[in-house]
Every structure is written in structure tokens, then in C-alpha cells.
A = this chain, B = another copy of it.
Amino acid sequence: MNIRVPSFRDIAKNFKVVFLDSYGVLKNHKGLIEGVPDTIKFLRDEGIELRVLTNDASRSQQQQADVFDRLGLKDLKVDEIITSGMLAKQFLTHKIREGKIAYLGTDSSAEYILQSGLDHIAVRDIDLDDLDDISAFVFLDDEGFDWNTDIDTTVNFLRRKTVPVIVANSDKYYPVNKNDVSVATGGLAKLCESMLNKKFIHFGKPDTQMFNYAFEHINQEEFKYNKDDILMVGDTLSTDILGGNKFGLKTMLVLSGNTRSDNAELWINSTGIIPDFICESILA
């Protein structure tokens, strides 16, 4: 495989749009990756459209943009950020028309996702003997509840009542520092699926729905871009590259996050997920 390239910018110049994963591409556990603002400026100067695609459902677009701003990436626009939470919200708007939506997560994540005119109720407030008015369940975030009690309540609610169950972020874990990870809401959802022997509705990469959302977004005013115009850049084979490939985009694996330089080819061969390009980072 001879797909290593020295410069992200040289490749990016051949595309009209770049989709970027957030964690491992733009930032890491220490904050913004040094040099990223220059690369973003380069893309702006070249007239290349960009979108950030993130499996983070815990924060709204505005909150995500605020975080980037605080970290030093000033000019990312709110609607250049696309989160898996937005897909969950879209689903709820189209499919759930009445009743309350129960959720596992923080109250603030509930507020931004569950604005569909429907009431919502935290798992800790569920009365297992009075479930009549609950019409859906959402795994929103790994914080905002007590793991010692609320996972059991979730499982028992779903044993008693069959409702649509949405997982707003299908990642099983997320990094918290250079070495360590924390169980993410997708991991909890998987535990509950395995106990209930059911499959929930998962949103987020590698599902192509997120790529399609971004694709429609860049073409919303007029149909300007087709798939061949877009480069997807990410640090994770099983989400960014698999999903980008399946949607028909050219893909670049960067080695500034989950995938290390010395085992990139090994992982590509053992998974069969093949990026079109491999590059150290988006800095050069």
C-alpha cells in the first residue's frame, strides 16, 4: 500500500470540500492541536468548504463552537459543526409525535436535543409503575445520572414497555487523557441491548446518515458539490474512514489521534478498512 502522503494541504487542494473529525484531528486531550488554526485559515484562503463531523451528542452546535473558540479556534461557524445529536433530534421530530421522551444524560443535553414540543423526563424520575405517557427513550450522554441505579431503571423500563430507543452517540468510549478512556453512552446502550436482546437505533459515524446530513447541508442552497469533490479526514478507521468510504467519499487517515503511525498499515490490513490517503496530521 503506497498511500502515505507528506502533506494534507497538497491533497486538500484537489477537493472543494473537506469534512473533518473533531477529536484526534482538530483537538486532543491537551486542547487544540497546535497549528490547526493555520490549516483552517489555509482552507478558507483556498475557498475550500469545511464541515466538522463529530459523534458528540452532549453539546449543541453553539456549545461546540464556544469550546473551539475558547481553545483558540476563533472562526469556526456554528453551522459548520455537525453532531450525531442533530440526527437524533431530527429522528425524534419526524417520528415521535406525542408523549414524553425519557432520557439518560445531562439535563442540558436533554434541553438541546429534545426541543420538539414534547416533554422529557430523566431516568431518575421514571416511576416504573406509571409508564403510560412515555413514548420514546434516548441515550444522550454518559454523565448527569447515577450509574449505580439508573442503568437498572433503564433496563427495567425497557423490559416493561416497548418504545423506540435512540442512541445519540454510538461510540463505546472516549479518550480522557493520553492513556485512558471513559465509557461513553454507546457503550452503555450496548450493555442494555445485550441484556434486552434488542437492537436500538444508533446515530453517528460510521453510519452514512451523518455524512448524508453534511452532504445535504453543503448543497442546501444549490446543488454545487458531488461526492467526488469531498475529502473526509479522520483518525479512526472504524468510524471516520469506514463511513466516509461507504458514503463514496475519498478518505484520509491522520495519525494525530487514535491510530499510531507504526501500526496504521497493520490495522488497515487486519480490518480491511482502507483509506485513500494516510498523513501524519492536517498541519503540513
Contacts and interface: CB of A to CB of B under 8 A. Distances in A.
Most buried by B among A208, A209, A247: A209
**Chain A: interface size category:** 35 or more
A51 B209 CA distance: 20
Which label, helix, strand, loop or mixed, suits the secondary structure of the A interface? helix
B271 A198 contact: yes
A200 B272 contact: yes
Interface of A: 1, 90-91, 94-95, 128, 146-148, 151-152, 155-156, 158-160, 162-165, 172-173, 179-183, 187-188, 190-191, 194-201, 207-209, 212, 227-228, 242, 245-250, 268-274
Contacts of A268: 162
Contacts of A190: 191, 194
Contacts of A156: 179-181
A166 B177 CA distance: 27
A90 B248 contact: yes
A160 B181 contact: no
Nearest to A143: B148
B183 A155 contact: yes
A220 to B, nearest CB: 10
